[in-house]
Structure 1
Amino acid sequence: MSPNPDRTGVPGADAILRRQRARESAARTYARSFPIVPVRASGMTIEGADGRRYLDCLSGAGSLALGHNHPVVDEAVRRTLDRGVPLHVLDLATPEKDDFTDALFATLPGRFRDRARVHFCGPAGTDAVEAALKLMETATGRRGLLAFTGAYHGMTAGALAVTGNVAVKAPLPATGAEVTRLPYPYAYRCPFGVGGDRSAEIAATYTERLLDDPAGGVVPSAAMIMEIVQGEGGAVPAPDGWVREMRRITAEREIPLIVDEVQTGVGRTGAFWAVEHSGVEPDAIVMSKAIGGGLPLAVIVYRDEYDGWLPGAHTGTFRGNTLAMAAGAATLRYVAREGLSERAAAIGARMMSRLDGLRAALPAIGDVRGRGLMIGVELVDPEGPTDSCGARPAAPRTAAAVRAACLRRGLIVELGGRYDATLRLLPPLTITDEEVEAVLDRLADAVAEVSVAPRLAGRPA
């Protein structure tokens, strides 16, 4: 141990951070945004090695539906360890896997559940995306893929191909698969410059006509993949009517529909699975993050008619994570039993209403959007010109400064969306009323410090 441990008994945080910078790759992300060394956590609170406490509105990028070290999850892990069960058995059947599958299937919409198959993937959501794409390519014999502007599906080759962010793909020309990029409805920055409901209507019409145009450049499609709320894209929710139109368009053309619920699943948007808001039945759902109770786990669930894989067609060493299955089963049942989806809907609506109400006093807030406890606050230059829909230019530097100001106040929030100008709030579904108020107060103070005080002093924000 360091000769100068801090009061938590952990070696000095500064030394740990220096060693991280010296030894870890340049691909570090969250570690750059939040230069802290967490040593303990409970619920929504993280304690750093320096003794400071933070409210965590990142929740492991949505992985911690119940927050840190929830008693239900801890008990499931301890019980599994105490029984001495094998922690790694590839894809062999175990009581823990059987129990997890029961718990998972109990959450699925009825008609989809009745014909569902599950495939256990590698531990990350990106591997589940790869599996879903390969499954549909195998089933249809086609190679074209339909994906959307603003999408994020992971960091492996196929997942990157269907991701919208150009910056992460630019150094990797091999990701330029046969992907047709379709417009995703984004009311604040409408791709057609009209905004409102009309934007979604035009997007649906454009998609249908493009797919039917023999000179449109669209190769036969193996699948369409979509997020119901774009997470990394800036917490942009899709209108339910547009989702239904995408289902109609794909069904009429026999194109499988894959819904990526890696971040939206397990109650986060106010329904157990975000696709339920629209009443749509997809052909496959990609799941990860919260389904493992905070431990690595990823699966795809799909209609049995697509189950045409040969043995070993998509494998992975760590498909048999027994601890994650135990933690996941406990989490799934707790969210359902305690009605946390409904609570997420109510708390999220309250948070968005108050944030939207701040826009008059804090004009740097350009847009507040989301669904349930998946909330985005887009920051803008309040003195910049408006576009045809009334949106002002994105303000990424302001957003970065607000993130830092939040951290100084003991609040962890991350950025996303176009130009990284959107503050993303992903609190655990167990957030208390008192924590809601603390989050909103700290966020409002941070935005005011960065955007209002400098202007009043005659300095640029």
Structure 2
Amino acid sequence: MSRPEIRITPPGPKAREVASKDSELIMQSFARWYPFVAKRGQGVWLEDVDGNKYLDFNSGIGVTNVGHAHPKVVKAIKEQAERLLHYSLTDFLYETPVQLAEKLVKITPGSFPKKVFYANSGAEAIEAAIKVARGHFRGTRPYIIAFAGSFHGRTMGALSLTASKPVQRRGFAPLVPGVVHVPYPYCYRCPFRQKYPDCNLWCVDYIEEWVLKKYVPPEEVAAIVFEPIAGEGGYIVPPPDFFKRLKELADKYGILLVDDEVQAGIGRTGKWFAIEHWGVEPDLVAIAKGIASGLPLGVLVGRKDVMDLPPGSHASTFGGNPVSCAAAIATLEVIEEERLLENAARVGEDAMRRLNELKEEVPAIGDVRGKGLMIGVELVKPDGSPNPELLKATLENAFKSGLLVIGAGVSTIRIAPPLIITKEEIDVGLEILSDSLKKALRTVG
């Protein structure tokens, strides 16, 4: 395919039928952007139940990094499923988790010895990170610092770190105690009303001067948990020296750095892990989403001397499932063999260029930011404030035109196609996105 094919204006009759039953039978605790009902996918293309074909700028929320139904991944899943589906890594052993771990300790940042823990999702990888960080200090460091504006998951421990949108936390208090939030380095809308670089990275100094020196003893802080690029918060990229300074602060007080790469990792930004762009080696790295091409798998990789929880203190019945691990091994091999890191960097750079050109033409685009194929386009009102109504209308127009793209933050278009996407395919998507935005401006303004 070279372009989307819309045969029936979506949502079509079959999609509406599924949506109606979904609403009746499934708890509606999630917010969907529009009623797309997926039937099959191949590469960067998806088909709905009514036969419409769409270009994918979403990758199932950053999951299908090597494209939908990649033959090598499908083959690995089939072969492993025929051999063994499950016997529980908690009490016994498999070959595939060991083989995957051998690969992960090589590609994750850090030249030190490492160990791996397997879970089922990004939220579970973060839960493991919380327990490892606190457990490593044997209860002497109960506090964890996280960033306002970041998303780390919806299970109770991960939710306690999450501070992306109030709806994610509303009604669930009390959450896990001991979590302290500080502002994320969002230069376009600096919470301190300063300008980089004149600010001299006050967002880091604030942690030391107003948190560690005022009310949270640094010797009682186990970890600082961060997203290298804030995902759900709006695809926000920190300024160049932020992580270097954060690392210096953490090292000064013996605090662990926990890098949440659930959305930004596995090649999304043109490197295996986004933190590599800043040359910082975290102590723990949480991985999920793109690791297994859609099969449930979460991973925590960390320094061997930190990953020292005693036997029986943490486990997961389904963590390290052999089918998921087989899919992950194949996924990593595809990224290497097809040079998808290079493709993500190259195609992403061209997309950023085109989007910045569109920004000059359309004042409603306030900011274009990102790395590789993790790009955010923030939409604003004439006064510069966020424009969620324009975002909603733009995404709906794109959907009806055959482009699947969603939002992040308050009013940011989230562009995260499969890493296999070509320049020609992303040009088609950006053309549709541009037309959809301009059409939305005529109705929403």
Aligned to 2:31: 29
Amino acid at match of 1:125: G
Distance (Å, rounded) in 2 between the aligned partners of 1:323 and 1:422: 35
Cα gap change, 1:210 to 1:218, in 2 (>3 Å):
farther
Cα gap change, 1:86 to 1:360, in 2 (>3 Å):
closer
Deviation at 1:90, TM superposition (A): 3.5
Q: Is the 8 A contact 1:368 1:375 kept in 2?
A: yes
Deviation at 1:293, TM superposition (A): 2.4
Q: Is the 8 A contact 2:259 2:282 kept in 1?
A: yes
Is residue 436 of structure 1 aligned with residue 426 of structure 2? yes
Cα gap change, 1:53 to 1:45, in 2 (>3 Å):
same
Moved more, 276-285 or 205-214: 205-214
Q: Is the 8 A contact 1:210 1:218 kept in 2?
A: no
Is residue 411 of structure 1 aligned with residue 409 of structure 2? no
Is residue 425 of structure 1 aligned with residue 424 of structure 2? no
Q: Is the 8 A contact 1:362 1:447 kept in 2?
A: no
Cα gap change, 1:200 to 1:413, in 2 (>3 Å):
farther
Deviation at 1:199, TM superposition (A): 4.3
Cα gap change, 1:227 to 1:343, in 2 (>3 Å):
same
Report SS of the residue matched to 2:305: helix
Report SS of the residue matched to 2:375: strand
Report SS of the residue matched to 1:19: helix
Report SS of the residue matched to 1:305: coil
Cα gap change, 1:216 to 1:124, in 2 (>3 Å):
closer
Matching residue within 14, 28, 37 for 1:12:
14
Distance (Å, rounded) in 1 between the aligned partners of 2:329 and 2:105: 10
Q: Give runs of aligned pairs for residues 98-177 of structure 1, distance below 5 A.
A: 98-109=98-109, 111-112=111-112, 115-121=113-119, 123-140=120-137, 141=139, 142-165=141-164, 166-175=166-175, 177=177
Q: Is the 8 A contact 2:85 2:321 kept in 1?
A: no
Q: Is the 8 A contact 1:47 1:54 kept in 2?
A: yes
Report SS of the residue matched to 1:333: helix
Distance (Å, rounded) in 2 between the aligned partners of 1:119 and 1:40: 32
Q: Deviations over 1:216-247 (max 9, x none)?
A: 68782111000100110110012341101111
Q: Is the 8 A contact 1:240 1:277 kept in 2?
A: no
Alignment gaps of 5+ in structure 2:
1-7
Report SS of the residue matched to 2:222: strand
Deviation at 1:335, TM superposition (A): 1.1
Report SS of the residue matched to 2:198: helix
Q: Is the 8 A contact 1:88 1:320 kept in 2?
A: no
Q: Give runs of aligned pairs for residues 24-423 of structure 1, distance below 5 A.
A: 24-30=26-32, 33-82=33-82, 84-91=83-90, 92-109=92-109, 111-112=111-112, 115-121=113-119, 123-140=120-137, 141=139, 142-165=141-164, 166-175=166-175, 177-199=177-199, 201-215=201-215, 220-382=220-382, 384=383, 392-417=384-409, 419=410, 421-423=411-413
Q: Is the 8 A contact 1:406 1:413 kept in 2?
A: yes
Cα gap change, 1:443 to 1:88, in 2 (>3 Å):
farther
Report SS of the residue matched to 1:197: coil
Distance (Å, rounded) in 2 between the aligned partners of 1:218 and 1:164: 22
The aligned length equals 431
Distance (Å, rounded) in 2 between the aligned partners of 1:333 and 1:135: 29
Deviation at 1:197, TM superposition (A): 2.4
Q: Is the 8 A contact 1:63 1:290 kept in 2?
A: yes
Deviation at 1:211, TM superposition (A): 4.4
Amino acid at match of 1:398: L
Deviation at 1:28, TM superposition (A): 3.2
Deviation at 1:170, TM superposition (A): 2.1
Deviation at 1:88, TM superposition (A): 4.0
Q: Is the 8 A contact 2:105 2:115 kept in 1?
A: no
Distance (Å, rounded) in 2 between the aligned partners of 1:254 and 1:105: 23
Aligned to 2:3: none
Report SS of the residue matched to 2:27: coil
Q: Is the 8 A contact 1:45 1:54 kept in 2?
A: yes
Moved more, 171-180 or 296-305: 171-180
Q: Is the 8 A contact 1:210 1:216 kept in 2?
A: no
Distance (Å, rounded) in 2 between the aligned partners of 1:81 and 1:308: 32
**Structure with the larger RCO, 1 or 2 (CA within 8 Å, 6+ apart):** 2
Provide the identity percentage.
35
